[in-house]
Structure 1
Amino acid sequence: MNALYHLCEPALYTGRESTSRAYLHENVRALDLRGSLARTEERIPALFGYACDEGVRRNLGRPGAAEGPRALRKGLGKYPWQVGAPGHLADAGDIRLEDDNLEGAQAAYAEGVSKLLEVGYLPMGIGGGHDIAFAHYKGIRNHLGPGKHLGIVNFDAHFDLRSPGDAPHSGSPFFQVARTCQQEGLDFHYACIGVRRDANPQVLWDRAREFSVCTIERESLTPDQLSGHCRTLRKFLKPLDAVYLTIDLDGFSSAYAPGVSAASPMGYAPMEIAPLLDVVLNSGKLIGLDIAELNPAHDQDGQTVALAGSLVHRILHFPGLF
């Protein structure tokens, strides 16, 4: 790891004290990616922060997401640790960008993801701009090699298929993945759930069709269409060997997630997408996941931290995942 890597701060995790490790803060163990890691005997989730919002700045969004990893850790400690949770929660620290070298931060993050996967951890990224996605994908792909079919499921208001031009940004990660797949002779498997007509110009809808993106629009997230969407998602997942899950918090309505880089009241509610999230978690193919665009600078009453924390809690306690 390079100079951008910082160890976790255990003091960020606080909460009630118990005699039975009943709360999340009592179940966190620090992990140092700078040295060799012992292989974990069971599947353990490992938080890995991407403290960077340079990509958001480049994409003309509201800065502040660089503080997302710290804010989420502060909020996580109080959550209950219940039956079905893993043996513990590892915290592998952060990649922190201290200049404008976004590409260097992505390379360092990809290296860390690969290292976690090599010894059996499940990377749980926390960001940070959604440019975390290209870095996380590269780390997974480097670990898997070219012989495995890797897919991406993105819960998001945006396709994030913008051309990076001369400088990659938070709106370009899946275009970069698509181009990388073309260059390496790999199939591009990408599903975007909750994407909105009022949040993407026509060129991105055209590009999504060009890339055969599995698209579930926000307007169609209604109870009568839910079972059909679940079938569509299971069909998408079936031919894959592994799936990378990424959740951009700006897909949620600002009623639930005001603290994001691009807030809107027109997003979805948490329980509208929960069954689709569960389809991914239940697939048996999850290899890595992240939660992106948490922006505490704009988070009214900590609502977005609470939403992200509840998502993490749901994942940690999903039956059979760990």
Structure 2
Amino acid sequence: MSNYTLPKKENWIGKSSDQQLYLNEKVELSTITSKFPYNKQKTFALLGYSSDEGVRRNQGRVGAKLGPDAIRKQLGKMSNHLPTETKLLDFGNLECKDQELEDLQKELSNTVKLFLDNNTIPIILGGSHDLAYGHYNGLLEHIPKNKTIGIINFDAHFDLRPNTDGNNSGSPFYQIAMEHRVKGTPFKYLAMGIRKEANTKNLYEFAEANHAYYLQRKYFSMTHSEHVELRLIQFMEDVDYLYTTIDLDGFSSAYAPGVSAASPMGFAPDIALKSLKLIIESEKLLALDVVELNPTLDIDDQTAKLAASIIHYAIHKLA
């Protein structure tokens, strides 16, 4: 794989013990080309999507290619409560070579399918949100043809922009919608935390025309948690599997300053974690990614810590 770099032990820093009390002690370094000997054990595959080419094409502030390693450095410091038999594997990063974003998305798709075919849960670290196109297609290739995947996107943006000038961080769900239209299959998409000032009326019209579901930011809060739960349950009941993607720019900049499109008007971590809990408890979740961390814009690693905390919560809830 021309865009593949091996995992690095120096990304896993933190305290040491003789009991694997911290995730830097629990994690194992692996490679995509190695065999998967862990089929009978709960296994999580951490894979970095080290690219911000999609952000550049979308006229955003680059730096997200550094996100995966920044997440690892915070995750390794966190306490380990995983069962002894559970495997946490770091598979390194897929990187964008010569601005060939479409090739990178295809490589991600192939790798995600490889993980799932080997009973391994993909946790993708971003990187710009164009990774969602490759991630979703890898899931789609794995499941039976007669089954459906529901996409749950925690985000300020629909990311339903046309890819007329090439795939980019604003186009992944547009591409997915168009491919479902061609195949005559349903596009199952729920965006949580959408902000009106961050999306044009054309995007709202496209969402409506393609039967996409969404929840405005003003309702995506603990104050409206019962409404959030109802919307999630209704959506999840109508699909066979779930793919969850968490865009850090959906959070308020009070929690996530280190993103390309920061805003103080975003949502809070409490409602995101409550929603993620409900998603995991449905037992339909196939895979998860956390995207758009830009360490060059972060303050005291706050956004990296948020991303790591979300992943920490998810793997412990899934284990």
Name 1:234's counterpart in structure 2. Answer: 233
Name 1:34's counterpart in structure 2. Answer: 33
Consecutive unaligned residues of structure 2, counting only runs of 5 or more, are: none
Consecutive unaligned residues of structure 1, counting only runs of 5 or more, are: none
Q: Deviations over 1:143-178 (max 9, x none)?
A: 114221111000000000000103010000000011
Question: SS where residue 259 of structure 2 aligns?
Answer: coil
Paired residues, number = 319
1:129 and 2:146 matched:
no
Shift, 1:42, TM fit = 2.0
Name 1:66's counterpart in structure 2. Answer: 65
Shift, 1:226, TM fit = 1.3
Q: Which whole-Å CA distance do the structure 1 matches of 2:105 and 2:231 have between them?
A: 31
8 A contact 1:150–1:189 mirrored in 2 = yes
8 A contact 1:64–1:297 mirrored in 2 = yes
TM-score by length of 2: 0.97
8 A contact 2:42–2:87 mirrored in 1 = no
TM-score by length of 1: 0.96
8 A contact 1:146–1:186 mirrored in 2 = no
Name 2:287's counterpart in structure 1. Answer: 288
Q: Which whole-Å CA distance do the structure 1 matches of 2:48 and 2:41 have between them?
A: 22
Name 1:21's counterpart in structure 2. Answer: 20
8 A contact 1:5–1:93 mirrored in 2 = yes
Name 1:175's counterpart in structure 2. Answer: 174
Which shows bigger deviation, 48-57 or 3-12? Answer: 3-12
Shift, 1:35, TM fit = 3.9
Q: Deviations over 1:226-285 (max 9, x none)?
A: 112201111100121110000000000111101111111110111132221211111100
Q: Once the two structures are aligned, what percentage of the paired residues are identical? A: 40
1:269 and 2:268 matched:
yes
Q: Deviations over 1:21-74 (max 9, x none)?
A: 000001111221124433521221110110010000000110000010111111
Q: Which whole-Å CA distance do the structure 2 matches of 1:254 and 1:262 have between them?
A: 9
Q: Which whole-Å CA distance do the structure 2 matches of 1:191 and 1:178 have between them?
A: 12
In structure 2, what residue type is equivalent to 1:161? L
Name 1:219's counterpart in structure 2. Answer: 218
Name 2:111's counterpart in structure 1. Answer: 112
8 A contact 1:53–1:129 mirrored in 2 = yes
Q: Which whole-Å CA distance do the structure 1 matches of 2:148 and 2:214 have between them?
A: 19
Q: Which whole-Å CA distance do the structure 2 matches of 1:42 and 1:218 have between them?
A: 38
Question: SS where residue 120 of structure 1 aligns?
Answer: coil
Name 1:46's counterpart in structure 2. Answer: 45
Q: Which whole-Å CA distance do the structure 2 matches of 1:4 and 1:282 have between them?
A: 35
Shift, 1:316, TM fit = 1.7
Cα distance change, pair 86–154 in 1 and its aligned pair in 2 (3 A): farther
Map residues 89-108 of structure 1 onto 2, 5 A cutoff: 89-108=88-107
Shift, 1:184, TM fit = 2.3
Q: Which whole-Å CA distance do the structure 2 matches of 1:63 and 1:248 have between them?
A: 15
Shift, 1:84, TM fit = 5.7
